[in-house]
Amino acid sequence: MRSVASTVLTLVLFATYLGIGALAHDNHFSLGWVLASTALVWAGPAQIILISTLGSGATVVQAAIAVTVSAIRLFPMVVSVLPMMRTPQTKRRHLVLATHFIAVTLWVECFRLFPQVPRERRIAFTHGLGIGLCSVCLFATTLGYGLAANVPPLLGAAILLLTPLAFLLSTARNCRQLSDVLALVLGLALFPLISLLHTGVDILISGISAGTIAYGVHRWRERE
């Protein structure tokens, strides 16, 4: 629980979920519904997309497609973090709940904090961190839902700027190898270019190409 309290990212999550609670209120969803979405979906961007698409009158199928496109990023995150949690005795079912909690914040924090946690305790650690963060976010969702109409635009802009700032800095701090640094820089540079194509999966295209180029450079340097 100390890890939950000590991270700046908790504050960022708190502010994000304040925004999600307010958004749900403005789109006439019930409080219970948005709380259930926080616990079940547990991914800020997916929830914002879900609430805004359904709220604007899109069909269930349209909303599901938009959500699933936004969620593809969870796949490489889960694949890269799970091997750090596993011991030779670990069964796959032991990892289901920990996997559910993996989202950007937990992914970043696992890379930062795991070196200080003994391997056999890492699953329990992830459960604790996940449940702690989720509780904070459930509270923030409720508070945001209640405050909805009273959020001034400048505060709203400040809340929205928190996400890119915190993601950028925490990813920058977690870079271990040249490939990570390159992937971050190239990913930032490529997206604005690829977004001009309006493919609908721009982030995926720029992410896979930037990541692959970064990995290629890493391989090339290794062989020198």
Q: According to CB under 8 A, which residues from 61 to 90 bind another protein?
A: 61, 63-65, 67-68, 70-80, 82-84, 86
Q: Which of these ranges, 99-107, 120-128, 132-140, 141-149, lies near another protein under the rule CB under 8 A?
A: 99-107
* Interface with another protein in residues 28-67 (CB under 8 A): 29-33, 36-37, 40-41, 43, 45-48, 50, 54, 60-61, 63-65, 67
Q: Which is nearer to another protein, 45 or 128 (CB)?
A: 45
Q: Which of these ranges, 120-128, 129-137, 141-149, 182-190, lies near another protein under the rule CB under 8 A?
A: 182-190
Give yes or no for residue 200 binding another protein (CB under 8 A).
no
Residue 95 CA to residue 87 CA, distance in Å, equals: 11
Residue 132 CA to residue 135 CA, distance in Å, equals: 5
b/e map 181-199, b = 16+ CB within 10 Å: ebbbebbeebeeebeeeee
* Interface with another protein in residues 106-165 (CB under 8 A): 107, 153-154, 156-165
Matching residue, tokens 């509780």:
135
- A 10 A CB-CB count for 99 gives 16
Residue 203 CA to residue 191 CA, distance in Å, equals: 6
